[in-house]
Each structure stands twice: as structure tokens, then as C-alpha cells.
Copies of this chain bind each other. A is one copy, B any other.
Amino acid sequence: MTPGADGPAPRRRGRPSRAAHAEGPDARTRILEAARAEFAVRGYDKTSMRGIAKAAGVDAALVHHYFGTKDEVFAAAVEVSFEPALVIPSILGGPSADVGERLARFFIGVWENPASRAPLLAMLRSALTHEAAAKVLREFVLRRLLERIAADLDVPDPAFRAELAASHMIGIAILRYVIQAEPLASADPERIIAMVAPTLQRYLADG
């Protein structure tokens, strides 16, 4: 399967394509799923475009066609866990009085789901140990995600505050799922949400 004149349009930015999702497990979706699994198992450094193509059952040229570079596959594989096109409006679209709780609930939900947790943890590990992966997280994922969140916030320094909120959720993920520090590792997700929501609320909404 190679892209032809009437094949799906190349998406060099690697953002999740709603159209592709709607069509079911097409080649692009299969490539992203394979990339998530490869990055999760092998880490950033040892994952190759060729390996992703093989796992997805497609030609390596198709992976390049859709994503251009390994960095862009990595960015898309991280982003797909967050599905920003769907998620951002659902977090920021509701009443601002409980945006903190919606964000906390969303993040904990993503991390509590083993299917999304494993690739996210692998990508976080990669970002912490390989500058190339850190750069992708910094320049693609975080910038896009945080710019979109910050644009909707009515507070001073919205990007700074969005990063502080993100830092808390990343730190919780590390202590709870990677280092597995108790009692946090075994705490009911609702207890975490109850404590953290007012923090995120203050950062994102209460100047």
C-alpha cells in the first residue's frame, strides 16, 4: 500500500486526523498505533522509521510520506494520547469555575488507562534521557498544547500558568506510576483529583 494521487492527503505536521480516525484502522492510524508501541517498548533512541513500518505492515516510504521524520512520528504518537482536537474544547469549553477539576480529571483519566499510560511513560522517559525527544516534546507537543490552552485563559501569563499546571500533572504521573511512591501510588484517583483541582483552578482561572 503506497499513497497514490487519490490516497489520503499527507499530513506533515502529524496531528491526529479526524478523517483518518473516522475511516477506521487505515494506514495512518495503524502507523501511529505501531509507533506508540515501538516507542513504548524500545524508547525513542532505538525506534526506527523502518521498525515502525514493519510493525504497522506498511512500506517505510509510507511512514515518511505521512510523517516526514521520526521526530514528527514521535510528536504525533504523544499527541494521539491526548487527542487535543477533541479534548481541549471539552476542558476549556465548560464553565471556567471548574476548569481545574476538568483538567485534573482528564489527565488522571489518561494516565489511569494502561493503554495510554504505557506509551506516555515511555515517551516521558525518552524525553528525559534524549535531547532529541525532549526537543520534540518541547517544540511540538507542549508548545502546541499549551498555546492552545493558554489562548483560552483569561489570566496574566497564561503560558507560564499552563506550564505550571502541566508540571504538576507530570510530577504526579512520575511519583505515582514510575517511582510508585506510597501512599500516592495506591491513592484513589478521586482523592488526587479533589486535592489537585483547586491548584489547577488557581493557575488557570483565578488570576
Residues of A within 8 A of B (CB): 124-125, 127-129, 134, 137-138, 142-143, 146, 157, 159-161, 163-164, 166-172, 174-176, 178-184, 187, 191-192, 195-196, 198-199, 202-203
Contacts and interface: CB of A to CB of B under 8 A. Distances in A.
Contacts of A203: 195
A-B pairs, top 10 by smallest CB distance, nearest first, are A171-B171, A167-B171, A163-B184, A170-B171, A167-B172, A167-B175, A168-B168, A199-B199, A142-B181, A134-B179
A178 B142 contact: no
A77 B73 CA distance: 38
A183 B179 CA distance: 27
B183 A174 contact: no
- The dominant DSSP class at the A interface is helix
Contact of A159 (B146, B176, B178, B183): B183
A178 B127 CA distance: 8
A131 to B, nearest CB: 9
Contact of A138 (B125, B146, B179, B202): B179
Contacts of A138: 179-182
14 contacts: A124-B128, A128-B128, A128-B179, A134-B178, A137-B179, A142-B181, A160-B184, A160-B191, A163-B175, A163-B181, A164-B172, A167-B175, A168-B168, A199-B202
